[in-house]
Amino acid sequence: MSHDLNHKPRPTFANWEEAHMWMMAEVGDPCVDNFRYAWSDNGAECAAYDHLREKGCCGSFDELVTINGREARIGCNYGH
């Protein structure tokens, strides 16, 4: 059995608020905007997420997370 040493476990949260607080701590920058969230299995939400990501500037943060057992996308822009 092989193990990918670069694989990190997907962060897991009970709700969007916990995921948002984690994201803010990971980013570590007070200048944050362009918050984006989407359930990974919702095409319309993912399209809106991608649109916001493309409009962003400066640094970006985008991660797959698990929220209440569902895969979700969470992101923002920072460092303005």
Q: Is residue 23 assigned to a domain? A: yes
Q: Are strands 32-39 and 12-13 parallel, antiparallel or unpaired?
A: unpaired
Indicate the helix (H) or strand (E) that contains 24: helix 16-27
- pLDDT-based confidence at residue 6 (cuts at 50, 70, 90): low
Q: Is residue 24 assigned to a domain? A: yes
Two tokens at 25?
Answer: 């701590």
Q: Is residue 7 assigned to a domain? A: no
Total structural domains in the chain?
1
Residue 68 has pLDDT above 60, yes or no: yes
Question: How far apart are the two ends of the chain, measured CA to CA in Å?
Answer: 45
- pLDDT-based confidence at residue 1 (cuts at 50, 70, 90): very low
Q: Is residue 52 assigned to a domain? A: yes
Provide the whole-model pTM: 0.85
**Residues linked to residue 14 through DSSP beta bridges, in sequence order:** none
Q: Is residue 28 assigned to a domain? A: yes
User: pLDDT tens digits for 13-56?
Assistant: 999 999 999 999 999 999 999 999 999 999 999 999 999 999 99
Q: Is 52 helix (H, G, I), strand (E, B) or coil?
A: helix
Q: Is residue 49 assigned to a domain? A: yes
What amino acid occupies position 18? E
Q: Is residue 17 assigned to a domain? A: yes
Full domain range(s) for residue 21: 12-78
Q: Is residue 34 assigned to a domain? A: yes
